[in-house]
A and B are shown apart, each in its own frame.
Chain A
Amino acid sequence: MAGTQKLTRTTLRSGLGRVRGLGSAKEGVQHWWAQRVTAIALVPLTLWFVASVILLAGADHATVSAWIARPLNTVLLIALVAATFWHAALGLQVVIEDYIHTEGTKLVVLLAVKALLALVGLAGIVAVLRVAL
């Protein structure tokens, strides 16, 4: 094609240099990869959390507080909350982008959902720290 030939003649940049930073959202595979990384992290974290909750079934406040305050549990709980809300934000983003086709509405819903998830996730981390510290 003539247009392409003209472009290669008028630039000194390589083909790779020209496509870097392009793409639908200028982020390459970052979203896809972060979704997988958080998914892999959530495999052991989820199993640990479900097993812990079963063992804590019916436990009183003192027992649960002492469990949360143990350093390993504190760290794993914060990791669980962070990975869960990050994974949820990435997942819900894709769902919203798939079903809402009006640009303005999509942006507003995306921002609102991400803000809500960030706040609820932070609330979870603060709650863990308040019990632990």
Chain B
Amino acid sequence: MDAREALMTGTTSDGKLVRRPLSPHLQVYKLPLTAITSISHRITGVALAIGTGLLVSWLMAAAAGPIAFAEAQAFMGSFLGRLMLFGWTLALFYHFCNGIRHLAWDAGYGYDMETATRTGWLTIGGAVGLTLFAWILGYALLG
């Protein structure tokens, strides 16, 4: 018998011994897609909150005048700037798509495992698709 069995033993209100369910040990438990999409929503949310600084710095550069704005544009156009913008776009579209998934849940739709897994893949596909579409369009318009 495993020592951990002791942690899983409990009693019901009428005194019967039962095996309690154990919460998943994150280092050995393979997270289902629904769990991965859930924690990703939180991670992209925090990243986007930090990334809003990017939006505000762009607006402040525009307010500061042509020289500051040219510097901001030059940074956004650099490799590091583009990498940050690409990551920001991907996080934004992921949070956007998964946010709509959450709103559907709030309205009472899509709770069964099969649907939740399918909409999870749709969210990932939608985020990658929208990101690539936005960047291809951007580069096409830049010429």
Interface residues of B in 38-71 (CB under 8 A from A): 42, 45-46, 48-49, 52-53, 55-56, 59-60, 62-63, 65-66, 69-70
Interface residues of B in 56-96 (CB under 8 A from A): 56, 59-60, 62-63, 65-66, 69-70, 73, 77, 89, 92, 96
* B6 interface contact, C-beta 8 A: no
Q: How far is the CA of A95 from the CA of B43 in the complex (A)?
A: 10
* Residue positions of B touching A, CB distance < 8 A: 42, 45-46, 48-49, 52-53, 55-56, 59-60, 62-63, 65-66, 69-70, 73, 77, 89, 92, 96, 99-100, 102-103, 106, 134, 137-138, 141-142
Binding site secondary structure of chain B:
helix
**B92 near A120 (CB under 8 angstroms)?**
no
**A46 near B92 (CB under 8 angstroms)?**
yes
Question: Which of the residues A36, A50, A88, A92 comes within 8 Å of B103, measured between beta carbons?
Answer: A36
B96 vs chain A, min Cβ distance (A) = 6
Residue contacts A-B, CB under 8 angstroms, 12 given: A50-B92, A54-B141, A58-B142, A68-B59, A77-B59, A92-B46, A120-B56, A121-B56, A123-B60, A124-B60, A127-B56, A128-B63
Given contacts A50-B92, A58-B142, contact A88 B52 (CB under 8 A): yes
- Apart from the given pairs A43-B96, A81-B55, A88-B49, 6 other A-B contacts in the complex at a CB distance below 8 Å: A61-B65, A61-B70, A64-B62, A88-B48, A120-B52, A128-B63
Q: Which residues of A contact B106 (CB under 8 A)?
A: 36
Interface residues of A in 67-113 (CB under 8 A from B): 68, 77, 81, 84-85, 88, 91-92, 95
Question: Which of the residues B45, B77, B103 comes within 8 Å of A58, measured between beta carbons?
Answer: B77
**A55 near B56 (CB under 8 angstroms)?**
no
B18 vs chain A, min Cβ distance (A) = 26
B64 vs chain A, min Cβ distance (A) = 8
A112 vs chain B, min Cβ distance (A) = 13
Name the residue in B62, B70, B73, B92 with the highest tally of chain A Cβ atoms < 10 Å from its Cβ: B62
Nearest first, the 4 A-B pairs at minimum CB distance are A127-B59, A127-B63, A124-B56, A61-B66
Q: How far is the CA of A54 from the CA of B92 in the complex (A)?
A: 14
**B45 near A127 (CB under 8 angstroms)?**
no
Q: Which residues of B contact A81 (CB under 8 A)?
A: 55-56, 59
Q: How far is the CA of A85 from the CA of B55 in the complex (A)?
A: 11
Question: Which of the residues A39, A57, A120 comes within 8 Å of B99, measured between beta carbons?
Answer: A39
